[in-house]
Structure 1
Amino acid sequence: MPETYRLQLGPLVRRLPIMKLPNDVTIASFVLLGDAELTHYAAERLIERVKNVTFDYFVTVESKGIPLAQEMTWLSGRKQYFVLRKAVKDYMVSPLSVPVEAITTSADQRLVLDGTDAARLKGKKVIIVDDVISSGGSLQAAERLLQQAGAKVINRLAVLAEGSAKNRQDISYLGTLPLF
């Protein structure tokens, strides 16, 4: 049985496998996908942090932040959120893109926004939501891409801050994860 890290968020406890990444960083692997209970709990807690904030949309990065953005959109009474993709898709019209470096991905990557979505986001106030913020590479790329689209990022929310991200003043999160 692999070594695990005990994560507790409110009444919920999860055992996260400890994994060594190819870049020699070791993490407690947190995967929100498929965990409806934790997703709902986190969405409710994070919504409380922006209940008095005026904004237009939630935006997330593909893929583990998608269920969180979905649930937060629903709970906040909104009808739409936006996903920054990791590759250009054939259906996209005039996509915008920026390079991204993330702690969990060793290959070159890009964040992509369909030009149609970019037009909808122009001049809008958005909140970026994600499962984990660690090095901040994905978050920085998301902000550059949204700025390219003409959107204004007014807040950044995550379920967890990993490593030194817990010291950041520009994000709000529910719990922390160590780097090993």
Structure 2
Amino acid sequence: MRHEMTIAGCKRALPLCKVNDQLYIAAFIMFGDVEITKACARELLKLAPAHDIMITAEAKGIPLLYEMAAQAGENTYVVARKAPKLYMQDVVSTRVNSITTAKEQTLYLGGEDAALLRGKRVLIVDDVISTGDSIRSIEALVTQVGGNVVGRMAVLAEGDAQERADIRYLEKLPVFNADGSIKG
């Protein structure tokens, strides 16, 4: 089963994936899709508030954030990592639960990235916002290191995220019943 939609002018058929017996979601995967990544970056930048730096969580938001930074002429962006790396010093972390991940995860920032965010206007970007847990976790990291979140953006808002006034997004993404019909 697939859900067909147009995102930033690009038509795509998103595969439906089972979360549980009563809930299916459409998988939006930007990896390997240069056309949609560039188009979404362009359209999100039109909606973006004034900011000094952007951040996303590893991994699916990385190509989007890279393209947004490139199109905006920004030379730096930050990625909250899913594991601390050897080069990271003075690591800060926060926990996150995501609807698309089977277990709780932790997001990490090293001291150098923390310094890039400190005292700055920070724009949080993701591919899809569902429950909002990933965005809240990134926001907690930004706040923890002294950054000021000025906006939260995503390509798609899924389910209840569509009703949040604090998120800017390009398109609504419905959730689905087991038979592929859109949940009421």
TM-score range with shorter-chain normalisation? over 0.9
Q: 1:25 aligns with which of 18, 23, 26?
A: 23
Q: Secondary structure at the match of 1:139?
A: helix
Q: Say if 2:98 and 2:104, in contact at 8 Å, map to a contact too.
A: no
Distance between the aligned counterparts of 1:21 and 1:89, measured in 2? 31
The 10-residue stretch of structure 1 (23-32 or 89-98) with the greater mean CA deviation from structure 2: 23-32
The 10-residue stretch of structure 1 (136-145 or 4-13) with the greater mean CA deviation from structure 2: 4-13
**Aligned position for 2:155:** 159
Distance between the aligned counterparts of 2:21 and 2:67, measured in 1? 32
Normalised TM-score (structure 1): 0.93
**Aligned position for 2:33:** 35
**Aligned position for 1:179:** 175
Percent identity at matched positions? Answer: 44
- Where in structure 2 are the equivalents of 1:1-180 lying within 5 Å? 3-21=1-19, 25-50=23-48, 53-180=49-176
Q: Say if 2:120 and 2:147, in contact at 8 Å, map to a contact too.
A: yes
Distance between the aligned counterparts of 2:21 and 2:113, measured in 1? 34
**Residue identity matched to 2:18:** K
Q: Secondary structure at the match of 1:158?
A: strand
Q: Secondary structure at the match of 1:135?
A: coil
Q: Say if 2:90 and 2:110, in contact at 8 Å, map to a contact too.
A: yes
How far residue 13 of structure 1 moved from its aligned partner, in angstroms, is: 0.7
How far residue 21 of structure 1 moved from its aligned partner, in angstroms, is: 2.6
Distance between the aligned counterparts of 2:104 and 2:21, measured in 1? 13
Unmatched segments (≥5 aa) in structure 2 = 177-184
Q: Say if 1:22 and 1:106, in contact at 8 Å, map to a contact too.
A: no
**Residue identity matched to 2:43:** R
Distance between the aligned counterparts of 2:125 and 2:101, measured in 1? 19
How far residue 10 of structure 1 moved from its aligned partner, in angstroms, is: 4.2
Count of matched residue pairs: 176
How far residue 22 of structure 1 moved from its aligned partner, in angstroms, is: 5.7
Distance between the aligned counterparts of 1:115 and 1:100, measured in 2? 20
Q: Secondary structure at the match of 1:67?
A: helix
Which one scores higher on RCO, CA 8 angstroms, separation ≥ 6? 2
Unmatched segments (≥5 aa) in structure 1 = none
Could you give the per-residue CA deviations for residues 77-122 of structure 1, whole angstroms, max 9, x where no partner exists? Answer: 1101000011111221011000111111121210111111102211
Distance between the aligned counterparts of 2:47 and 2:21, measured in 1? 34
How far residue 49 of structure 1 moved from its aligned partner, in angstroms, is: 1.2
Q: Say if 1:129 and 1:158, in contact at 8 Å, map to a contact too.
A: yes
**Residue identity matched to 2:11:** V
**Residue identity matched to 1:34:** G
Q: Which stretches of structure 1, 4 residues or longer, exceed 4 Å deviation after superposition?
A: none
